[in-house]
Homo-oligomer: A and B are copies of this chain.
Amino acid sequence: MRIHLGPDHDDYLAAAITDGGATVSSLEDADAVVWYGSAEDFPALPERVRWVQLAYAGIEPFFRAGLVDRTRVWTNASGVYADNVAEYAVGALLVGLRQFHTAVAANRWSKDRIDPLVRPLHGSTVAIVGCGGIGRAMIPRLRAFGVEVVAVTRSGRPVDGASVTLPAHRTSEVWTMADHFVVAAPATADTDRLVGAAAFDAMPDTAWLVNVARGNLVDTDALVDALRAGTIAGAVLDVTEPEPLPDGHPLWALDNCVITPHVANTRSGLTATFAPTLRENVRRFIAGEDLVARVDPSAGY
């Protein structure tokens, strides 16, 4: 079994391929391809390649580029980075509710201003919109904080640990059912601008919004309006539209908006975090077993 690793050599991933029982090979000789580069740089595949393993959880650029065919098995890294992103998302809620951002921005002792703004996370209800691998990793963390969880999933089948699970077609109901909101849904045609003016109007004015999915799931103009008007309390965004968010964008000027540069899952830690899953999929591929995180081309993720 020969596997091509691209775009470059990587120690973690090469070891995972070897440990899984395969050898690292040139593209020409490869039975499978492991790719941790961009969709733009993705190579034309020889016919003998039967499996493509991508190192990302969100692979919409590969769909947009028309790369994901139905003649091969494609797998992504859905769930691999879930712990990482889940802890970011809970941290993001705590940053906003506990006003860490205000203290950092003030950079001087400002108790009279900050003390009355602090709110507890415990005792609140958090809705996870798009409760897949990341959301499921968030649930035990949130529950340990005394938080109730409302989940939105495609099917609406009950999610373990959530008090209520809504199917995606009832997403519009969720905005009045929780105190705070975490967006963790895949980016598809159905989720584009899922959180817009109507959602902000329905949310409590004490609500914090966290986006760890993709920037286009939130209507940025509506968000700016809501943050300016105090329609919601604040937002913590690890993803933006456009991304990177340019200097001078109105979101940078809002003191109730915290923006991190797409680091909930870090590029620097990507291959180390992904390696154990790759090793397991290599083992399964050789054994002829079902692969982890197989892409569903009709769903788009």
Contact = CB atoms under 8 A, between A and B. Distances in A.
A288 interface: no
B90 A94 contact: yes
A64 interface: no
A71 interface: no
Interface string A229-259: 0000000000000001111000010000011
Interface in A81-100: 83-84, 87-88, 90-92, 94-95, 98-100
Interface in A266-290: 266-269
Contacts of A84: 120, 122
Contact of A244 (B111, B116, B140, B252): B111
A87 B94 contact: yes
Contacts of A98: 87-88, 91, 260, 263
Nearest to A100: B95
A144 B101 CA distance: 24
Q: Which of A87, A116, A145, A267 is packed against the most chain B CB atoms within 10 Å?
A: A87
B258 A145 contact: no
A139 to B, nearest CB: 9
Contacts of A252: 107-108
Nearest to A240: B109
Interface residues of A, number: 49
Contact of A120 (B83, B259, B261, B262): B83
A144 B146 contact: no
Q: What is the oligomeric copy number?
A: 2
A120 B247 contact: no
A247 B108 CA distance: 6
A45 interface: no
A100 to B, nearest CB: 5
Contacts of A263: 98-99, 103, 111, 114-115, 118
Contacts of A44: none
B87 A118 contact: no
Given A87-B94, A104-B101, A109-B261, A115 B268 contact: yes
Q: Which of A140, A145, A245 is packed against the most chain B CB atoms within 10 Å?
A: A145
B100 A100 contact: yes
A172 B263 CA distance: 35
Q: Which of A99, A114, A118 is packed against the most chain B CB atoms within 10 Å?
A: A118
Nearest to A273: B120
A141 B116 CA distance: 25
Given A91-B98, A94-B94, A95-B100, 6 more contacts: A83-B120, A87-B94, A101-B104, A103-B261, A104-B104, A109-B244
The 8 closest A-B pairs by CB, nearest first: A91-B94, A144-B144, A111-B261, A109-B244, A103-B260, A104-B104, A116-B268, A141-B144
